[in-house]
Amino acid sequence: MTKIKFTKMQGLGNDFIILDYEEYKKTGRTPSELALLLCNRHFSIGADGLIIIYPDVDCADIGWIFYNSDGSIAQMCGNGIRCFAKYVYDKGIINKKEFSVDTKAGIIIPKILDDGRVKVNMSKPILDPKKIPVNVENNLNFEISLNDRTFVANAVSMGNPHCIIKTEEDTKELALKYGREIETHKIFPEKTNVEFIKVLSRNEINLDVWERGCAITLACGTGACASVVACILNGLCDKEVKVNLPGGQLVIEWEGSLSDTNYDVFMSGRADYSFEGEIEI
């Protein structure tokens, strides 16, 4: 048996286990094996994902390794990157409030704000269907047919794929009923995250999410970003939008438009510690 130290954090209820790289190396296991083991809520710590600090990178100030609870690798996680940023700053691994992180989705730049929140430059949205990827000609307002109904959907990637569906129905009920079927639909060759949204005003939306590799979660940062981008491209929202998720609120900013999408998306929200501990594996 090997004993390792860990930290548990959460961003709006989306929770993560964080391991320093030296602790990870002690285990002799792959990140996928560790994610399956440690994220199990019934027999272990429990979390939506596993984050491993990866300090030895050349292209950024620091890197990370992120795996979903089902053992699959994820290109990006908005709530996870805020927790990661707060952790490496608080622990003195990084000694500046704004820094670069090497991720599977490219270089991401978080900034620790004076009020304790973390603001993250999530880079530009990906809107090319082939790069999202989604098997449609146009990523906006295409139909996706399921066993018992058809939805009008929008696809946006924030380094990971998202399917955004506007509705006036109960967003949580729809996510629970149709999330898995849409996640694994043949139109998405790498599967997808699924967001059901209700537009409250030009500056506020409600969102419930079915996360790829996790199922229902209390929040999804990249999902909030993708949803706001889709709303703006459809003329439903302005440049700064409050996104209400079951676990709390994020603020998403994007200066883009249908005629000019070449702008970065910014996400601001909390990241909080749950507890620290040791576990034998």
Same domain, 118 and 188: no
CATH number of the domain enclosing 84: 3.10.310.10
Cβ atoms 234, 154 nearer than 8 A: yes
Three-state SS for 27?
Answer: helix
Same domain, 247 and 230: yes
Phi, psi of 167, rounded to the nearest 5 degrees = -150, 160
Same domain, 146 and 258: yes
- State the total domains in the chain: 2
Among 20, 9, 85, CA closest to 47: 9
Evaluate whether residue 132 is within a structural domain: no
Q: Where are the alpha helices (DSSP H) in the chain?
A: 21-27, 31-38, 78-90, 171-183, 221-233
Same domain, 239 and 275: no
Same domain, 91 and 108: yes
| Residue range 13-26: mean pLDDT, rounded | 97
pLDDT tens sequence across 93-131: 999 999 999 999 999 999 999 999 999 999 999 999 999
Evaluate whether residue 89 is within a structural domain: yes
Same domain, 46 and 104: yes
Evaluate whether residue 29 is within a structural domain: yes
pLDDT tens sequence across 133-178: 999 999 999 999 999 999 999 999 999 999 999 999 999 999 999 9
Evaluate whether residue 129 is within a structural domain: no
Q: What would the two tokens of residue 19 be?
A: 């391991």
As annotated, the active-site residues are 77, 220
Same domain, 73 and 96: yes
For 213-227, letters b (16+ CB in 10 Å) and e give bbbebbbbbbbbbbb
Evaluate whether residue 47 is within a structural domain: yes
Q: Which domain holds residue 60?
A: 3-123+271-280
pLDDT confidence of residue 79: 95
Same domain, 155 and 216: yes
| Residue range 234-244: mean pLDDT, rounded | 98
CB atoms within 10 A of CB 72: 15
CB atoms within 10 A of CB 186: 6
Evaluate whether residue 134 is within a structural domain: no
Phi, psi of 200, rounded to the nearest 5 degrees = -90, -35
pLDDT confidence of residue 252: 98
Pairing status of strand 49-54 against strand 14-19: parallel
Cβ atoms 214, 40 nearer than 8 A: no
| Residue range 175-197: mean pLDDT, rounded | 98
Same domain, 111 and 149: no
Same domain, 149 and 237: yes
Evaluate whether residue 61 is within a structural domain: yes
Same domain, 253 and 146: yes
Evaluate whether residue 137 is within a structural domain: no
Cβ atoms 253, 224 nearer than 8 A: no
